[in-house]
Chains A and B, each alone.
Chain A
Amino acid sequence: MKLSALLFVIVSLLAAPLLSGWIVRVKALFAGRKGSPVLQPYHDLFRLLRKGAVYSKSTSPLFYIAPMVTLSALIAALCLLPLPGFGALLSFQADLILFAYLFALGRFFTILAALDTGSAFEGMGASREAFFSVFAELIFFLSLATLARFTNSLSLSSIFESHAAGVNYADSPALALLLVSLFAALLTENCRIPVDDPTTHLELTMIHEVMVLDHSGPDLAYILYGAALKLWIWSMFIALVIISSFPSPRWLQPVIAVAVLFLIATAVGVLESTLARLRLTAVPRMLMAAGALGLLSYIILG
C-alpha cells in the first residue's frame, strides 16, 4: 500500500513538467505553429540547473531560501495527496487543512522573496498575487468544506475513498458547480489566462512572472518546477474529486486520473488560446462568482 503511494509521488515528481509542456503544445497547435516538444520543460530545467545563480547585493538570505521552501512545501503537499484508488503516503486526521496551508506557505515565501528584492515591479506583482489568492484560497476551502461535509471525513485519503462506502454524489448537479469553482481556483492559483498571462513580456501586466524576475539559475529552475508541480497537484485534486464521485474498479482509477489530467491541461491550453485576459478589476468578480458556485454546491450537498 505505502509502496504504491511512494511510487505515485515519484511518478508525479517526474511527470509534472509534462503537463505544462502539453499546455504549450496545445497553444502552439491553436496558433497554427508546430510548437516546442512536449519534453521542452525538462530541457529548460536541466539547462537552468547547470547554470550558476546571480544574487543582487540588496537581497537577504531569505531571497536565497525562498524558492527551496516553496518547492518543498509543494512536495509535502504532494505527499498528502492520495493515489487514485490506493491511499496517500502521509495521511492523518484533518490533513486537508495542512494541504491548503502548504500552498499558502509556498506563496508566502514567493511573495517575501519578491518584496525582498526591493523592486517596485516585484512589489506590485506580490500585491496582486496576495490579493487574488485571497479569493482562490476561499474557494479552495469552500470546496474542501463541501467534500468534508458530504463525506463526513476530515482527511484527504478518506474523502477520496468515500465512494467505497457507498457515498455517491455524481448524480447531483452540485458536483458540476464544485468542479467549475475548483477549475476557476486552479486557473488563479496557477497564474493561467483569465487571471494572469504566463507568457506576457510586459512587467506592468505580470503577476506571477514579475515576482520571479530576479531569480536565476537553479533558483529559477526550482520555481519553474514548482509551478509545474503545483499545476499537477491541482489537476490531480480535481481528478480525485471526479474519480471519487462514482464507483469504478481500482485498476481503472489511475487511468481515469491520467485522462482527467490530460483533459484539464488541454482545457487550460484551449482557454489560453481563445480567451483574453480579464481586466484586473474584473478578476475578483470572476472569482466571487466562482466562490458563489462553490458555496451553492455546499448548500445543496450539505
Chain B
Amino acid sequence: MQTLIDIVLLLVLLSDLYLLSSSRLGASIKVLAFQGVMLSLLPFLSTDMVRSPHAFVIAISSCAIKAILIPRLLSRAAREVHIGLEIDSYIPYGASLLAGMGVVLLSFWVARKFQLPVTVSSRLWIPVSLAAVMIGLLMLIIRKKAISQVIGYLAMENGIYVLGLSLAAQMPFLVELGVLLDIFAGVFIMGIILNHIKYYFDDLDVENLTVLKD
C-alpha cells in the first residue's frame, strides 16, 4: 500500500515536471488528464479513509472533473483559438527543468520542518504536494500564453488537492466538493476569456494585455 501511494505520488510529481518543461500543448493537456486520474486514485490508497463513502465521492467527482471535463474544455479552447506547437516559455527547456528540480529540492527540505497535526500515510505526501504547488506557480510565471498559464494554475490546484487529501479526515467534505466545482467554473470562464483575448489580439500572448489602449 505504502509503495503504491509512493508510486502514485511520484507519477504526480513527474507529470508536473513534464508540464513545466514541455512546450507541447496537446501532450500537456493529456498529461494533465493523467494527473487527474492519479489524483483520483489517492483517496482509495490513503489508509485512513479507505472505507468511507467520503473518499469514494471525492475520488469519483475529482476523476470526472479533473480527468475528463477540464481536459475536454481545455482541448476545445485550444482548438478554437488555433494554438500551434511553438514554445511559449520565457526560459528554455534546460533552465525550466533545473528550476523545477530546485523547487523539488526546496519542497523536500521545507517538508522536513513541517509540523502537521495528523500523521500522513507516506513520507512523500507533503513534499510532493508542496512541489506540485510551487511548480504550478513557476509555470504561471514562466509561460507567455494564457492557455499554458491555465494549465499551470490547474497543476497548482492539483498540488493543493494533494495537500488537502493528507488532511482529508479533518477536512469538511463539502469544502472539498465546493473547491472542485469552483475549479470547474474557473476553467469554464477562462475558456471564454481565452476566446476573447484571441478575438481582440489575434494571439494568446499575455504581454499584449500590458499595452494600454483607449
**Interface on A for B, CB 8 Å cutoff?**
171-174, 177, 284-285, 288-289, 292-293, 295-296, 299-300
Q: Are A173 and B13 in contact (CB under 8 A)?
A: no
CB distance from B35 to the nearest CB of A (A): 16
- Decide if B56 is an interface residue (CB 8 Å cutoff): no
What residues on B are CB-neighbors of A284 within 8 Å? 94
Q: Are A172 and B94 in contact (CB under 8 A)?
A: no
**Interface on B for A, CB 8 Å cutoff?**
2-3, 6-7, 10, 13-14, 17, 21, 93-94, 97-98, 100-101, 104-105, 108, 124
Q: Are B10 and A173 in contact (CB under 8 A)?
A: yes
Which one of B97, B100, B124 contacts A300 once the chains associate, using CB atoms below 8 Å? Answer: B124
Which one of B7, B93, B98, B105 contacts A173 once the chains associate, using CB atoms below 8 Å? Answer: B7
What residues on B are CB-neighbors of A177 within 8 Å? 10
Which one of B2, B6, B101 contacts A292 once the chains associate, using CB atoms below 8 Å? Answer: B101
Once the chains are docked, how many angstroms separate the CA of A299 from the CA of B93? Answer: 21
Q: Are A292 and B3 in contact (CB under 8 A)?
A: no
What residues on A are CB-neighbors of B97 within 8 Å? 288-289, 292
Once the chains are docked, how many angstroms separate the CA of A288 from the CA of B22? Answer: 13
CB distance from A88 to the nearest CB of B (A): 31
Once the chains are docked, how many angstroms separate the CA of A177 from the CA of B94? Answer: 19
Q: Are B3 and A296 in contact (CB under 8 A)?
A: no
Smallest CB gap from A172: residue in B: B6
CB distance from B17 to the nearest CB of A (A): 6
Q: Are B101 and A285 in contact (CB under 8 A)?
A: no
Given A172-B3, A292-B97, do A299 and B104 touch, yes or no (CB 8 Å)?
Answer: yes
Smallest CB gap from B105: residue in A: A299
Q: What are 22 contact pairs spanning A and B, CB under 8 A?
A: A171-B2, A171-B3, A172-B6, A173-B3, A173-B6, A173-B7, A174-B10, A177-B10, A285-B93, A288-B94, A288-B97, A292-B97, A292-B100, A292-B101, A295-B101, A296-B10, A296-B14, A296-B101, A299-B105, A299-B108, A300-B10, A300-B108
Once the chains are docked, how many angstroms separate the CA of A295 from the CA of B101? Answer: 8
Which one of A285, A288, A296 contacts B13 once the chains associate, using CB atoms below 8 Å? Answer: A296
Q: Count of A-B contacts with CB under 8 A? A: 36
What residues on B are CB-neighbors of A292 within 8 Å? 17, 97, 100-101
Once the chains are docked, how many angstroms separate the CA of A172 from the CA of B13? Answer: 15
CB distance from B122 to the nearest CB of A (A): 11
CB distance from A281 to the nearest CB of B (A): 10
Known: A288-B97, A300-B10. 15 other contacts (CB 8 A): A171-B2, A173-B10, A174-B10, A284-B94, A285-B93, A285-B94, A288-B93, A288-B94, A289-B97, A292-B100, A292-B101, A295-B101, A296-B10, A300-B108, A300-B124
Once the chains are docked, how many angstroms separate the CA of A292 from the CA of B17? Answer: 9
Question: Which of A173, A177, A289, A295 neighbours the largest number of chain B CB atoms within 10 Å of its CB?
Answer: A173
CB distance from B45 to the nearest CB of A (A): 13
Once the chains are docked, how many angstroms separate the CA of A289 from the CA of B3? Answer: 23
Once the chains are docked, how many angstroms separate the CA of A285 from the CA of B96? Answer: 11
Smallest CB gap from B94: residue in A: A288
What residues on A are CB-neighbors of B14 within 8 Å? 293, 296
CB distance from A279 to the nearest CB of B (A): 13
What residues on A are CB-neighbors of B10 within 8 Å? 173-174, 177, 296, 300
Once the chains are docked, how many angstroms separate the CA of A82 from the CA of B210? Answer: 62
What residues on B are CB-neighbors of A295 within 8 Å? 101
Smallest CB gap from B17: residue in A: A292
What residues on B are CB-neighbors of A172 within 8 Å? 3, 6
What residues on A are CB-neighbors of B6 within 8 Å? 172-173
Once the chains are docked, how many angstroms separate the CA of A172 from the CA of B104? Answer: 18
What residues on A are CB-neighbors of B2 within 8 Å? 171
CB distance from A232 to the nearest CB of B (A): 31
What residues on A are CB-neighbors of B98 within 8 Å? 288
What residues on B are CB-neighbors of A171 within 8 Å? 2-3
7 A-B pairs closest in CB distance: A173-B7, A173-B10, A173-B6, A171-B3, A299-B108, A288-B94, A292-B101
Smallest CB gap from A177: residue in B: B10
Smallest CB gap from B95: residue in A: A288
CB distance from B112 to the nearest CB of A (A): 12
CB distance from A220 to the nearest CB of B (A): 36
What residues on A are CB-neighbors of B100 within 8 Å? 292
Q: Are B104 and A296 in contact (CB under 8 A)?
A: yes
